[in-house]
Amino acid sequence: MSLCLCGSFFRVSVWVRSLIIAFLIAFPAILLADFHWKNNDGDFEVGISIPNDNIKIPNPLEIDLSLKYPKNYHVDIEELKKNLVRQSPMLIDPFKIHSAQNDIQNQGDFNQQTIKFFLQPQQPGDFQLSFYNIAFNSEGQKKEIISPFFEVKILLEPWFTPNDVPVGPLLQLTPQFPIAMSAENKRKFFGPESQEHAGKENIAKFEDKSFPWWYLIFLAGLGLLILSLRESIATSKRIAESEPVRLLRIKVQALRNINNLSSSTLANDKEFNQFYIDLTNAVRSYIEQKYHIPASTQTTQEFLQQAETNPVFKDETRDLLKKFLISADEVKFAQEIPSLQAAENARQNAKLFIRSD
């Protein structure tokens, strides 16, 4: 009897001991349990798995999405990426899509697709992720399965801060042709030469944004120079006008003024009087411009006395001028009424004086 009880106790002890060993082996796995979720809806099956939902920056977060669906449907991976990192209340996205590996296999009438998403954490904290609505699209048909929210915890390494990201070496263009920086380029980018170059660039930027006073001064000086040249040219033209040209211009203008006087409508003494006034004024103006004699401010007697001794007048022109002025005074002051022929003769005498002078 005692032997049977001992045998039974020994068998129970072995069973308990095996249970304890199995529990100790599985206990770490229980503490580090990953996230799994699966849903079946007819011909559509979705599974989400996160091998480790507690990660440390800068390690990536891996999310496995397994899909099974009829082969005439397809899934938009880009839309799944957008849903996965959708964090509208956050000012800064806590994750960025690092990469996505897609594997799709055909199994008869169904497609078995596995997508691995690798997310790069941007900041520590507890975050809830979801694929939201996982859409299977076909021509004119659409099937959606709602994804649950799953929580992940992002930890921060003691040596790592978000504002102090360690700078790694330059990436390689290809394994055969790596990108490297020579010692000379390092001196240019990080040595005194780079500081001197940066200073010159700052000065150039400041000069570009400063007000262009030198351009304004240059344009103002150029404008003054152009005005001076124009004035000099005009003065040169006035000086270049020779004396014969000046005298000819004065003579032509005087003859034009005399020809503009009309004697065909003279009907009374007042009209004769005005005709002779305009005629003598034209002659006196001609004499003033040509000889610089104040003929218009002198009386006829004063002017004739000065003309007697002035050598600029020839004897024949002096006599002709004397005869013309006296006959004109007789009409203007003596109230003598001449004939139309006499008025026309006076006009011709004035023109003869100017032409012969």
Domain containing residue 46: CATH number = 2.60.40.10
Whether pLDDT at 5 is above 50 = no
Query: Per DSSP, what are the bridge partners of residue 63?
Result: 117
Cα–Cα distance for residue pair 42/45, rounded to 1 Å:
8
Q: Strand 95-107 vs strand 110-121: parallel, antiparallel, or unpaired?
A: antiparallel
What's the pLDDT band for 290 if we cut at 50, 70, 90?
confident
As a dihedral over the C-alpha atoms of residue 338, residue 339, residue 341, residue 342, rounded to 10 degrees, the angle is -10
108, 132, 156: which is the final residue of a domain? 156
The residue type found at 341 is Q
Does residue 51 have a cis bond before it (omega within 30 degrees)? no
In this predicted model, what pLDDT tens digit does every residue of 97-148 receive, in sequence order?
Answer: 878 899 999 988 999 999 999 988 888 888 888 998 999 999 888 999 999 9
- The pLDDT, as a whole number, for residue 183 is 67
Whether pLDDT at 269 is above 70 = no
Q: Are residues 149 and 252 in the same domain?
A: no
The answer to whether residue 237 is domain-embedded is no
Total count of domains within the chain: 2
94, 124, 156: which is the final residue of a domain? 156
Query: Per DSSP, what are the bridge partners of residue 136?
Result: 75, 143
- The pLDDT, as a whole number, for residue 145 is 93
- Residue 301: give the domain boundaries: 244-356
122, 156, 190: which is the final residue of a domain? 156
